[in-house]
C-alpha cells in the first residue's frame, strides 16, 4: 500500500484562498497528507508570483484539518535557524495533535539566498551546518536542559517546555539523496526519508546506499519510512493528459517552448506520474514495490480540483 498526499509549491502562486481550499480538499477527498515547500520567492524565476509564508500556513492546517498529516518539504537550515524550527515545529505539532512532520534540508537555491541577504555556504560547510542543526533540533525536543557547542550553532543550558507530542521528539523528515552525507544523516536522524523525482534504477541505487549507511551507524532501516515527491499529469484519456500538460507549460517557464509530446516525454523520463488513472496506478505500484510508502504528488495546477478528484476516485482506492 502506498499513501498519496498533495504537495504544493508555496512560492509559485499560493495564497490563502487556494491554501484553505486545498486543506479542505485533502481532508474531503481522502488524501493521506498535505505538504508544501519552504521558499521565499519563486524558484522558477517568476518573482512576482504570490508566496504564502510557511509557519502561518502550517498552523492553518493544524487548526483547519482533523485527519491529514502535513509538513514542509523542506526547510533549509541555511535560512531557518534550528531553534526556531524546533520550537515552531513543536507548537504546530501540539496544535494538530501530533500530525506534523518537520521537514529539513541543507539548502540549495542561490538566487533566493542572494535576494534576501542569506549566505549560501559551500557544500561542505552547508552539510556541516545541516548536521549541527539536526543535533540541535533533537536536543530541544527532549524537554531537558540542552547544551551544545558547535561551530555554527550553540546552546547553553537552553530549556523549553514547547516540545513535540512524541516523547522521542520531532518526527524528522530529511529531504535529499546525496550519497556521501545526506543519506548518512538520514540513517542517523530521520524518521522519514524524502526523495524527489528519479528513475526506478536511480532510486534502487540510493536505497542501497542508505541501507549501507544504516549498517554503518547501527540503525534498523525499518525505522525509517520512505517517501517520494513526484510531479503528476493525469487525465481520463490522452486528450485530457495533453490538455493538462499544456496548462502545466503556462506554469513552468522551462516547458513553455516545447511541443506537448516532448513535455510529456521529458516528464516521464524524470519519473513523474503521467497518464491515465490506470497508467498512474501502475507507476505508483512500481514505486511501492521498491519500498516507497508515501508519495507526495507535486501539484502545480493548484486550481484544478477536478484532477484531485480524479486521483481520489480512481487512483487512491487502487494503491
Q: Is the pLDDT of residue 71 over 90?
A: yes
Instruction: Give the mean pLDDT of 160-168.
Output: 92
Instruction: Give the mean pLDDT of 19-47.
Output: 97
Given CATH 3.30.1330.10, say whether it is the number of domain 3-318. Answer: no
62 pLDDT tier (thresholds 50, 70, 90): very high
The confidence score (pLDDT) of residue 56 equals 98
The confidence score (pLDDT) of residue 259 equals 97
Instruction: Give the mean pLDDT of 30-38.
Output: 98
175-195: pLDDT as tens digits: 999 999 999 999 999 999 999
135-148: pLDDT as tens digits: 999 999 999 999 99
The confidence score (pLDDT) of residue 319 equals 97
Domain boundaries, the chain: 3-318
Pick from 32, 88, 90, 87: which is nearest to 65 by CA? 32
CA distance 273 to 235: 11
Task: Note if the pTM is more than 0.75.
Answer: yes
- Average pLDDT of the chain? 97
Residue 278's contacts (CB-CB under 8 Å, 6 or more residues apart) are none
The string of DSSP codes covering the chain is: --EEEEEE-TTSS--HHHHHHHHHHHHHHT-SEEEE---SS-TTS-TTS----HHHHHHHHHHH-SS-EEEES-EETTTS-HHHHHHHHHHHHHHHTS-EEEEEE----HHHHHHTT-----HHHHHHHHHHHHHHHHHHTSSS-EEEE-SS-EEEEE--S---SSTT---EEEE---TTTHHHHHHHH-SEEEEES--HHHHHHHHHHHHHHHHHHT--GGGSEEEEEEEEEE-SSHHHHHHHHHHHHHH-GGGTTS-HHHHHHHHHHTT-EEESHHHHHHHHHHHHHTT--EEEEE---TT-HHHHHHHHHHTGGG-
CA distance 274 to 232: 6
Instruction: Give the mean pLDDT of 50-77.
Output: 98
The confidence score (pLDDT) of residue 202 equals 96
CA distance 54 to 71: 10
Residue 265 is placed in which grid cell? 516525454
Q: With contact defined as beta carbons under 8 Å apart, do 292 and 2 qualify?
A: yes
CA distance 42 to 114: 13
Q: Is the pLDDT of residue 244 over 90?
A: yes
Pick from 203, 193, 196, 180: which is nearest to 224 by CA? 193
Instruction: Give the mean pLDDT of 285-294.
Output: 98
The confidence score (pLDDT) of residue 128 equals 98
The confidence score (pLDDT) of residue 47 equals 85
Q: Is the pLDDT of residue 113 over 90?
A: yes
Amino acid at each position: 500500500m502506498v499513501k498519496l498526499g498533495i504537495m504544493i509549491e508555496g512560492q509559485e502562486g499560493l495564497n490563502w484562498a487556494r491554501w484553505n481550499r486545498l486543506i479542505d480538499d485533502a481532508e474531503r477527498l481522502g488524501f493521506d497528507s498535505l505538504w508544501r515547500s519552504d521558499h521565499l520567492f519563486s524558484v522558477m524565476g517568476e518573482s512576482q508570483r504570490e508566496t504564502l509564508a510557511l509557519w502561518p500556513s502550517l498552523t492553518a492546517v493544524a487548526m483547519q484539518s482533523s485527519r491529514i498529516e502535513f509538513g514542509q518539504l523542506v526547510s533549509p537550515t541555511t535560512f531557518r535557524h534550528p531553534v526556531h524550527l524546533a520550537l515552531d515545529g513543536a507548537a504546530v505539532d501540539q496544535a494538530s495533535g501530533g500530525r506534523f512532520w518537520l521537514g529539513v534540508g541543507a539548502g540549495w537555491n542561490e538566487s533566493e539566498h542572494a535576494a534576501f541577504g542569506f549566505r549560501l555556504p559551500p557544500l561542505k560547510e552547508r552539510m556541516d551546518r545541516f548536521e549541527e542543526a539536526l543535533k540541535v533540533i533533537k536536543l530541544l525536543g527532549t524537554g531537558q536542559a540542552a547544551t551544545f557547542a558547535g561551530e555554527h550553532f550553540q546552546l547553553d543550558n537552553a530549556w523549553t517546555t514547547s516540545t513535540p507530542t512524541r516523547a522521542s521528539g520531532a518526527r524528522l523528515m530529511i529531504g535529499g539523496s546525496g550519497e556521501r552525507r545526506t543519506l548518512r544523516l538520514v540513517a542517523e536522524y530521520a524518521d522519514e526519508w524524502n526523495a524527489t523525482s528519479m528513475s526506478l534504477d536511480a532510486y534502487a541505487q540510493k536505497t542501497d546506499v542508505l541501507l549501507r549507511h544504516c549498517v554503518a551507524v547501527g540503525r534498523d532501516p525499518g525505522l525509517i519510512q520512505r517517501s517520494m515527491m513526484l510531479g503528476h499529469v493525469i487525465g481520463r484519456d490522452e486528450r485530457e493528459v495533453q490538455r493538462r500538460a499544456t496548462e502545466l507549460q503556462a506554469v513552468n517557464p522551462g516547458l513553455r517552448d516545447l511541443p506537448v509530446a516532448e513535455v510529456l516525454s521529458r516528464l516521464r523520463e524524470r519519473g513523474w506520474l503521467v497518464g491515465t488513472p490506470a497508467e498512474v496506478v501502475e507507476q505508483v505500484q512500481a514505486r511501492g514495490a521498491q519500498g516507497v510508502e508515501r508519495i507526495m504528488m507535486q501539484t502545480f495546477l493548484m486550481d484544478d480540483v477536478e484532477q484531485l478528484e480524479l486521483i481520489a476516485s480512481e487512483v487512491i482506492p487502487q494503491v
